[in-house]
Structures are given as C-alpha cells and as structure tokens.
Amino acid sequence: MLATMNRATLIVNPFASGVTEERLASVERELRRHLELTAVLTERPEHATELARGLERTGAVYVFGGDGLLNEVLNGLERDAVVGVLPGGRTNVLARALGVPADPAAAARALVSARPRRISLGRANGRRFAFAAGIGFDAELVRRVDELGRRSDGRRPGDLAFTWEAVKLLVGRRGRYEPVLEVEGLGRAAFALVANGYPYSYAGGRPLRVAPAARFELGLDLVAPRRIGPRAIPRFVNYAFRGGGELAPDVLYGHDLDRIEVRCDRALPLQVDGEDLGDAESVSFEAERDAISILAPDVATLTA
C-alpha cells in the first residue's frame, strides 16, 4: 500500500508544545496538495484513541503532536494501519529515530510520498507502546514531572524539569536502588527498562542508548540493573549516553524477546512512551511483531 493514497486523516493535539496555528496550517497545506484530508483536534486525554478507531480503513493516519498523542492513536488502530508521525511534541522519539525532519511542514512533505515500512510494537499489560516502557525508576520520574503540572498554555515542562526531578529522585534515595522486582527466567532487579527500538529516548538533543541492539522491526529488549549504589551511578549514566560495550554482570539483559514477565515486591510506577499508567504489581510486556506500517523518509532506515 503506497503512502500517496487519496484519503488521509490528520489527528492533532492542539496543546502539544510544538503545535501552533501557523504550523498546523502549513502541515495541512502540504498534505492537502496530495491528499483528500480530514483534520481533527483532540479535546481530552484518550480522545485520540477514540478518534483513531476504524481509521485504518479510510487511508493513512497522520499524527501531529507529541509521543503521548502517538501512543493514544496507536492504541485505537488495527494492524492494517498506515501511520505518519509529524513532530509536534517535546521529545518526538519515534519521529527522530526514523529520521523524520524536525520541521512539521518539511516532515509532511517528506512523508506524503514515503513508502510504508512494517514495524513491531510493544504491549505492557495490553497497552501498546511505540518505543519504550519501564517499571520503577523512569516511570517514577515521568510521574514526578507530570505532578509539577502543566504550564499556563497546557504544555508539559521541558528537559530542565526532567533533569532536576531526576537529580532530586536520586538524592532522595541517596543514590541507592535495591532489588524490588523479579524478571521471570532472569532474576531480581531494581527496575526494568523495555525498548521496542533504538534509541530508548532522548535527553535534549542526545539519544539515550539504553538498549543499543533494539530495533523497531524486532521484538523487545530488556535492560534491568540488579541494584544501583552511589558509585555505580556515573557508570550507568555513561552507558545511557554512549551505549555499547561489554554486558555488565550486574545488569539483566534480553534481546529480541516475545514476552517479558515482571513481578514486583510492591506496586511500582509503570510508564509507556512517557505516559504514566499508574502502579502495577505485575507487568506482561509483549512484542506485537509486524504490527503496523510507519511512514519514514527514504534516507532513514529502521536499522540505523
């Protein structure tokens, strides 16, 4: 199925940090040159999931907003969907990973003539995710930033807030994370990071290379430190930004997995694609292989 099909729907989060009336108008102009376009704006949390249901039968679905909007849309679509991601959020992980231009209008021009590529998705207790999920540390960080509240324009705090909350989180625990969960078949760990692709996320302009072997067309990768102490923090931070190297004996790893079962000693925060899903005592992470078609520029490769 070609991306240049006649009809398409554009789902927009008007409160996303990179969405303005001017940018939306430019995106619509680019898409309408090639497509019979229907544009819809979200009005509340989870609204995008409702809007996305059944759209795979009416042409490509373009998403203009942040990672949270994309996650909602993916959870409303079926396997036959063709999705184009236009960066309009704070981080835009999947768009950046696939080489989509940062400018929304340029992204629309690039994607409207792109060919769909099949990729896998992950699921955490049934909830789809595009690039990453975690239980414990990173999910607690997401929750802390959300609790800061949104700015007066309705948009999330930026990278500085994430950095500051991460520092406070580590200081509050005196840099120590003891084993609090069990990864079935692998052992106990302090927290678990699950990647559906590479990179895991971004810190400002820098990719987080948590699971450098993860690929969007494969299954899930797991990285779960057994425990963390103050002396180990610099090593883990260096690994997150540089990746690669030898596998560490104090970290549980898994590559291209179909299923990861996690049982927690107590209910822990769970996140997918940067969205807080509340606390969970157990999590089934599953790979949904060959799940959807994603539009990516010709210069991007899913294995880059």
Question: Tens of pLDDT along 50-64?
Answer: 999 988 788 899 999
pLDDT at residue number 246: 57
* Range scoring the smallest mean pLDDT among 80-89, 171-180, 263-272: 171-180
Question: Tens of pLDDT along 263-288?
Answer: 999 999 999 999 999 999 999 999 99
Q: How confident is residue 4, by pLDDT bands cut at 50, 70 and 90?
A: very low
Host H or E run for residue 65? strand 60-65
What is d(CA 142, CA 133) in angstroms, rounded to the nearest whole number? Answer: 11
pLDDT at residue number 3: 43
Please report, as a single letter, which amino acid is at residue 134. Answer: G
Where do the DSSP E strands lie in 166-303? 181-183, 187-189, 192-195, 201-203, 206-208, 220-225, 251-257, 259-272, 275-295
Look over the chain and give the mean of its residue pLDDT values, rounded to a whole number: 89
More confident residue, 228 or 75: 75
pLDDT at residue number 157: 63
Q: Is the pLDDT of residue 5 over 50?
A: yes
Residue 53's region, left for phi above 0, alpha for psi from -120 to 50, else beta, is beta
**Closest Cα partner for 89 from 99, 76, 77, 102?**
102
Q: For a pLDDT cut of 70, what percent of the chain falls above it?
A: 90
CB within 8 Å of 51: residues ≥ 6 apart: 9, 11, 40, 42, 73, 76
Q: What does the block give as tokens for 10?
A: 């554009």
More confident residue, 37 or 161: 37
pLDDT at residue number 58: 82
**Closest Cα partner for 124 from 291, 292, 282?**
282
Question: Tens of pLDDT along 185-227?
Answer: 999 999 999 999 999 999 878 899 999 999 999 999 999 999 9
Read off the pLDDT of each residue in 72-93 and give the average, rounded to a whole number.
94
What is d(CA 291, CA 149) in angstroms, rounded to the nearest whole number? Answer: 34
In this prediction the pTM is 0.89
What is d(CA 151, CA 123) in angstroms, rounded to the nearest whole number? Answer: 30
**Closest Cα partner for 133 from 302, 286, 301?**
286
CB within 8 Å of 204: residues ≥ 6 apart: 159
Q: Is the pLDDT of residue 40 over 80?
A: yes
Question: Tens of pLDDT along 133-162?
Answer: 999 999 998 998 888 765 444 556 666 666
pLDDT at residue number 150: 56
Residue 25 DSSP SS3: helix
Residue 241 DSSP SS3: helix
Largest CA distance in the chain: 58
- The secondary structure of residue 285, as a DSSP letter, is E
Read off the pLDDT of each residue in 114-126 and give the average, rounded to a whole number.
96
Q: Is the pLDDT of residue 73 over 80?
A: yes
